[in-house]
Structure 1
Amino acid sequence: MRGPPAVDSRTRTGGPRSAVGPEGMGLSDVERDRADAPAEPGYVAPAFDLHGGRCPSDPEEMPARCTPLLAGSGRTRDIGRAALDVLRAEPRNGPGRIAAVGYGTGGAVALEPGRDGAGLRAIGAVNAVTTGRPGEASRIRCPVWAGVGAEDPVMPSAQQAAFTAEMQAAGVDWRLVVYGGALHAFHHPPVGRAAVPGVGHRPLHAQRAWRDIVGLLSECVPVTP
């Protein structure tokens, strides 16, 4: 994970900006398409890279790379800062209208700039109800939306409770949506990899989560004509 995160540089329409954090497997075609999706309602949404251009395909390699990343907030925070620096340099919109959205490991990255006091307008995290250093959530000054599967073994009920307790104690405007029956990575379509216990695509819940994210962005960083 050396070097700054790469950013998908394809041209997008002007408007508010949203960094899109990929899942643990990195910047795949699925993630690039996910970054393209906000462009339709008018957002500039680069996707950053977690693995320097690689997409680990081995079910054992991905957690081996992501677990150390998630073990401490330092590296995730560095990635989040680098992604925000790219967004702030984007000339197609004025400052102060930035949101962070992430999936899985990318969702953990999206939360850290908020805990670091970055001036975000909204944070959305799917399958990433991670907690930070004691007291740092009080630096979050924007609404936080999180979505997780009820049957997610990576983010179980105890982790969900710890996340909500952190947000509540810090006085954050937070929302947690638990999708009944959904596993980890319920939002990621099958891509030919071997089945992993506790991981499974649920298209209905994926659509609902996307609608929730669009609602968050519309509320907090609306597109203006």
Structure 2
Amino acid sequence: MTTITTRTVEYPADGLTMFGHLALPAGAGRRPAVLLGPEGPGLNDVLRHRADALAELGYVTLAFDLHGGRWFTDPQEMLARCTPLLADPDRMRAMGHAALDVLRAEPRTDPGRIAAIGYGTGGAIALELGRDGVDFRAIGTINAVTTGRPGEAARIRCPVWAGVGSEDPMMPAAQRDAFAAEMQAAGVDWRLMVYGGALHAFHHPPIDHPDQILLPGVGHHPRHAERAWHDLVGLLTECVPVTE
């Protein structure tokens, strides 16, 4: 396993001081980069470990923050913050650009080889950055088959891969169909993977936290979690391979 380095990076966004997790691969040269977005509850150790895993594969990775360092254990608190955010594309884009600026400013980042991966709310932000015309090499989302304002998906310039559980009540079949129709109408190179029997946040392992409350329809699916990670890494390998 290669040696990586990590550090917390502070930056302003959405009226808050955000605390992102930056993971750097071994070596000194520029590398392709990944902007990594968390689910609605916020940035936690699960996502930090995923950033570290991507750095071990050779990607400069910034796991960005949504809530100024908070991680919500109460879903109602989370929804009170995320619901208006998800309804405001310009606000999502501003948050995403703030994090992207941090990633681009890192000297190890190759600014011409950046991908975005996001889960839930973080995935919606990744898609909105694509709809805003950011020149990503790839966009991958889990639990985020969100649609945007009419016509703006035509600004997406890279392949889009989306994964979702078949039994996810927050991303039901009608939402999946709307996302597919939007991508197809815009001429995007898109793929949608539906993981049979999986609920919302199927990729996220259980957290032993005494205050954690889960919404109905949320549950871990270990086999599909592993498959989804493999599929995301495959997207990066295809679209933004690590080269020395």
Using structure 1 for the length normalisation, give the TM-score.
0.96
Deviation of 1:4 after TM superposition, in Å, equals 5.6
Q: Given the alignment, which residue of 129, 134, 145 partners 1:118?
A: 134
Give 2:7's aligned residue. none
Query: Do structure 1's residue 34 and structure 2's residue 34 form an aligned pair?
Result: no
Q: If each structure's strand is expressed as a fraction of its own residues, which one has the higher value?
A: 2
- Give 1:168's aligned residue: 184
Structure 2 length-normalised TM: 0.89
Cα separation, 2, equivalents of 1:69 and 1:128: 14
CA deviation vs aligned residue, 1:49-81 (integer Å, no higher than 9, x gap) = 000001111121111111111012111111111
Matched, 1:6 2:19: yes
Structure 1 position 147, deviation (Å)? 0.1
Distance 1:67 1:137, change over 3 A: same
Partner of residue 221, structure 1: 240
Q: CA offsets, 1:113-165, max 9 Å, x none?
A: 11000111000010000001110000001000000000000111110000000
Where 2:230 maps in the other structure, the secondary structure is helix
Match for 2:228: what amino acid?
A
Does structure 1 conserve the Cα–Cα contact (< 8 Å) formed by 2:24 and 2:55? no
SS at structure 1 position matched to 2:180: helix
Shift of 1:31: 1.5
Q: Please state how far the C-alpha of 1:11 moved relative to its aligned partner.
A: 4.0
Residue of structure 2 in register with 1:200 after alignment: 219
In structure 2, C-alpha distance between the alignment counterparts of 1:39 and 1:63, rounded to whole Å: 31
In 1, Cα distance between the equivalents of 2:128 and 2:172? 20
Q: Give the root-mean-square deviation of aligned CA atoms.
A: 1.3
SS at structure 1 position matched to 2:63: coil
Equivalent-residue separation in structure 2 for 1:12 and 1:224 (angstroms) = 12
2:193 is paired with a residue whose SS is: strand
Structure 1: state its 5+ residue gaps: none
Match in the other structure for 1:58:
74
Q: Distance in 1 between matches of 2:144 and 2:102?
A: 23
Q: Distance in 1 between matches of 2:72 and 2:15?
A: 15
Partner of 2:9: none
Distance (whole Å) between structure 2 residues aligned to residue 206 and residue 70 of structure 1 = 24
The one-letter amino acid paired with 1:197 is P
**1:2 maps to amino acid:** G
**Runs of 4+ off more than 3 Å:** 9-14
Q: Which moved more, 1:41-50 or 1:72-81?
A: 72-81
Q: Greater CA deviation, 69-78 or 167-176?
A: 69-78
1:183-194 aligned at under 5 Å gives the runs 183-192=199-208, 193-194=212-213
**Alignment gaps of 5+ in structure 2:** 1-13
In the aligned structure 2, how far is the partner of 1:4 from the partner of 1:195? Answer: 27
Q: Distance in 2 between matches of 1:100 and 1:198?
A: 26
